[in-house]
């Protein structure tokens, strides 16, 4: 579930955060420790009992989560404010299929929330703490952007140097080879592999066997020119499928497109990179 896990320090409190498809998530458990380091979960539960909290997180889910259950949300909303009402993150998630709050178990577990919700929780904890939290979060984002820019410039410089040294060799290797009659006769279960063969001459599996130590896949290793042509080929392939063209014929046509377009792009890139 998690990736790019990292930490920020806010007023001597370590706040864990991570990225996933739905956005960036901050640890509510860590934020709650600013109020009560011994029982952070009770702080979170008290916050979730509030009518204003339920209104906010319910609205967030309606805007961002197509699978959100509004009937369960309305039930919690109507019960909030009563003395007997109790709502935990786990109960909220299970009942409404919420995605803005995540509950993790284990040593590095806790309750995490999308930054929109986490900042709202931090505001409930302390306006001062929220301001420091936002400041540190922005600092982290600036540092990440600066690092990405530095890496991009470094890769670009290395690419230009290598291109000047090996211009002809690189140009030759970038131009796709014509598909063989054996390849044209094969049936590819995955249309993505049909494009891979048309562009690279191999399927994703064949590439993985040939390069077992590479971390990415065949398209991760592609050049910008190859990715541009692959995108064009996807559109062309969709049209050919709509015309009910057999797969072996589509492979031949797509391979011709790849060769023609790559020649044009490589010639253009050569001129730009060698200026």
CB-based contact 237:247 (threshold 8 Å): no
Q: Are 7 and 139 part of one and the same domain? A: yes
Residue 155 lies in a domain: no
Residue 149 lies in a domain: no
Structurally, how many domains does the chain consist of? 2
Q: Are 194 and 252 part of one and the same domain? A: yes
Does the pLDDT at position 275 exceed 70?
no
What's the distance, Cα to Cα, between the start and end of the chain in Å? Answer: 45
Of 143, 175, 197, the residue that ends a domain is 143
Residue 48 lies in a domain: yes
pLDDT exceeding 70 applies to what percent of the chain?
83
Q: Could you list the beta-strand ranges (E) of the chain.
A: 3-10, 13-20, 23-27, 101-104, 110-114
If one compares 223 and 156, the residue with the highest pLDDT of the two is: 223
- The span from the CA of 97 to the CA of 182, in Å, is 50
Q: Are 15 and 126 part of one and the same domain? A: yes
Q: What is the pLDDT of residue 160?
A: 53
- The span from the CA of 116 to the CA of 65, in Å, is 14
Residue 240 lies in a domain: yes
Assigned token pair, 51 = 């009518």
- The span from the CA of 44 to the CA of 87, in Å, is 9
Q: What is the pLDDT of residue 59?
A: 93
If one compares 169 and 77, the residue with the highest pLDDT of the two is: 77
Residue 161 lies in a domain: no
Burial letters 36-71, b for 16+ CB under 10 A, else e: eeeebbebbbbbbbeeebbebbbebbeeeeeebeee
3-state DSSP assignment of residue 188 = coil
Which residue range forms the structural domain that includes residue 229? 166-273
Residue 148 lies in a domain: no
Does the pLDDT at position 103 exceed 90?
no
Q: Are 128 and 228 part of one and the same domain? A: no
- The span from the CA of 252 to the CA of 71, in Å, is 54
CB-based contact 229:265 (threshold 8 Å): yes
pLDDT digits (tens, 9 = 90+) for 32-83: 998 888 899 999 999 998 899 999 999 999 999 999 999 999 999 888 878 8
Residue 243 lies in a domain: yes
Residue 220 lies in a domain: yes
Across the chain, mean pLDDT equals: 82
Q: What is the DSSP letter of 176?
A: P
Of 88, 112, 143, the residue that ends a domain is 143
If one compares 168 and 210, the residue with the highest pLDDT of the two is: 210
């Amino acid at each position: 579930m998690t990736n790019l896990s990292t930490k920020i320090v806010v007023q001597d409190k370590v706040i864990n955060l991570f990225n996933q498809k739905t956005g960036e998530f901050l640890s509510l458990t860590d934020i709650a420790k600013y109020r009560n380091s011994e029982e952070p979960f009770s702080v979170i539960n008290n916050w979730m009992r509030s009518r204003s909290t339920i209104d906010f997180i319910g609205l967030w889910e309606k805007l961002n989560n197509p699978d959100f259950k509004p009937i369960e949300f309305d039930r919690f909303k109507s019960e909030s404010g009563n003395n007997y009402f109790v709502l935990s993150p786990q109960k909220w998630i299970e009942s409404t299929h919420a995605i803005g709050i995540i509950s993790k178990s284990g040593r590095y577990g806790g309750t995490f929330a999308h930054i929109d919700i986490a900042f709202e929780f931090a505001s409930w904890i302390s306006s001062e703490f929220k301001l420091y939290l936002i400041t540190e979060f922005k600092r982290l984002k600036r540092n990440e952007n600066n690092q990405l820019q530095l890496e991009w410039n470094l890769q670009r410089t290395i690419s230009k140097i290598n291109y000047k040294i090996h211009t002809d060799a690189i140009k030759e290797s970038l131009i796709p080879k014509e598909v063989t009659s054996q390849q044209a006769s094969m049936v590819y279960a995955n249309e993505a592999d049909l494009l891979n063969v048309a562009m690279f001459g191999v399927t994703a599996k064949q590439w993985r066997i040939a390069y077992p130590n590479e971390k990415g896949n065949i398209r991760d290793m592609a050049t910008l020119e190859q990715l541009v042509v692959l995108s064009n080929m996807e559109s062309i392939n969709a049209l050919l499928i709509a015309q009910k063209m057999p797969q072996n014929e589509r492979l031949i046509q797509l391979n011709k497109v790849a060769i023609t377009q790559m020649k044009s792009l490589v010639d253009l890139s050569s001129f730009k990179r060698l200026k």
